[in-house]
Structures are given as C-alpha cells and as structure tokens.
Structure 1
Amino acid sequence: MKEVNYILHLNAVFDQFSKDSRLNPSHISLYVALFQLWNSNHFPEEFFVNREEVMQLAKVGSKSTYHRCIKELSHWKYIVYYPSHNPYKGSRFKLFKFGTSTGQVVVHNRTKIETSTGQALVPIYKHIETIKNNKTLKKEKVENPENAPPHGGVREAGGGLKQNPTVPKMDNLKTTKNKNYNEPL
C-alpha cells in the first residue's frame, strides 16, 4: 500500500479538476470535505462518514445536490461510494490516490511561461506593479529624508522618537526542522 502525500495528492487532484469540465463547485467542495475526513482518519483504504457532517463541511445545503454530486464523483472515478441506505449507519467511501507515483510530479504553473531556453517569463502586470512600487518608494524618500526616523523607530507628534512595536525583521520561512509531508496534517 502506498502512503498518501497530502500536498502531492491535492496538487494532482486539483490539476485533474482543472481539466474536467463536468465538475462544478459543489463537486469540488464535496471532494475536499471527503478528503479532509479521509485525512482525519489517517488515510484508511475505506472509511465511513455521516451525510450531515459532509454536507456541513462542504457547505452543501441540499440533500439532492449532495446525492447527485457524490454519485457523479463516484461514476467519474474520483471516489468509490457505497451508500448505506441506513440513517443510523454512515455511508462507506474510498478515495483514489492521486499524485502517489514514484516518478517526478510535474506542476503546471499558469502564471509563468517557459521559453525554449528554460527562462520563466513573468506576466506584464507584475512588471508594472514593480515600477509603480519603485516610483512610490523613491518619492517617499525624496519628500521626507531629514524627518525619517532611524530603522525600527517611529516619529511621535512632538518630534520625539518612539520605539516601533513591531517584531524585528525575521525570515519565518526558513526552518531547520525537517518536515515529513507523508504524515496527515
């Protein structure tokens, strides 16, 4: 049995969703709710769920929408649905494992386009935003250089310097902790 990698699985299934024109937001919401319950149960081969709980997680208010979408997801091979037909016993589900191949997973990023040289091209609006931000920063520096407080401080109304209450600049993305993405979150 292959382990389920939370991130790889979601990336792969969302990629599949983007290619499937049959799906609507209710299908995706129900799948994500089922995936969350699957994760909470540590990815068993099969698991039981309560319809009301899934509907609440998925924000689906209609029983007919729930049943239609669940049956379609099962028919389209995103899940396997075993209805219980018993109000006191939950229905049984099996989710297929996406993104579990041993080969390299290819992520298609639609915001960048690869050229033949491998250079990533950034959309023009990013360049325009950068130019606007640079002009704003230069303008602020020119207008108030002598009154600018030293790094980490804020000028008070009377001209005194008050210490900035914000935390010093830290790079919160760097960590020495090795993370195992094969474990449920």
Structure 2
Amino acid sequence: MDRLCYLSDFFEAIGTDARISITHIGIYAALLQYRVQNDFANPIQAFSHEILTIAKLSSAITYHKCVRELSEYGYIRYEPSFNKNKGSKIYFVERSD
C-alpha cells in the first residue's frame, strides 16, 4: 500500500469528527512517521519521548491525553506498558480493501 494512503485515510476519517484537534493530527502524523521508520511495524512499540520529539511537542501530559483519545475514538489502539524499560504498544487500524 502507498505510504500516503495511511495519512489520507486518517484525514478522510476525521473530516467530520469535531473532537479531533491539530494536536491529535500532529501526534497521529508523528506516530505514522515512527511506523515508517520501523518498517511499517504494526503495532509499534514506542516511548512517549520518541514521539514527542517527532511531533515537536514538549508536554507528555498532552501527548498521553491525545493518544488515549485517539484510541477511544477508534483511530488507533493504545496499550500503555507502565514499564519504564518497555515502550507502549500502538496498533494502527488497517483499512480493508
């Protein structure tokens, strides 16, 4: 699948979702970039500081809030690890063609 399809699908899905803010979009884009850097792994296993760097965010609180919301809204599935030595798992929702 074309790499841009994942981002295009996300933008199509959020088109009418008033709950999604620019911060959600930035974090999703950063998660997708992290996924690209990891050979399109699904799930990715990442630490918040890795995604914060890519997204150019400085607030871990904002990051966790937005990732939880993206998961609640069905755009990703987030499984926090609660282990400082193991990154959280983030699953991307795959479209079926």
Q: Normalising to structure 2: TM-score of the pair?
A: 0.89
CA shift, 1:8, in A, is 2.0
Which residue number in structure 1 is paired with residue 31 of structure 2?
34
User: What percentage of aligned pairs have identical amino acids?
Assistant: 33
CA shift, 1:7, in A, is 2.0
Counting only pairs closer than 5 Å after superposition, residues 83-162 of structure 1 correspond to structure 2 as 83-98=80-95, 101=97
RMSD across aligned positions (CA)? 1.4
Aligned to 1:12, which of 9, 13, 18?
9
Q: Distance in 2 between matches of 1:8 and 1:48?
A: 22
Aligned to 1:63, which of 60, 64, 82?
60
CA radius of gyration, larger in: 1
Gaps of 5+ in 1: 102-185
Is 1:22 the counterpart of 2:29? The answer is no
Count of residues in Structure 1 that have an aligned counterpart in Structure 2? 97
Helix, strand or coil at the partner of 2:15? helix
Q: Normalising to structure 1: TM-score of the pair?
A: 0.49
CA shift, 1:89, in A, is 1.2
Helix, strand or coil at the partner of 2:85? coil
Q: Which has the higher helix share?
A: 2
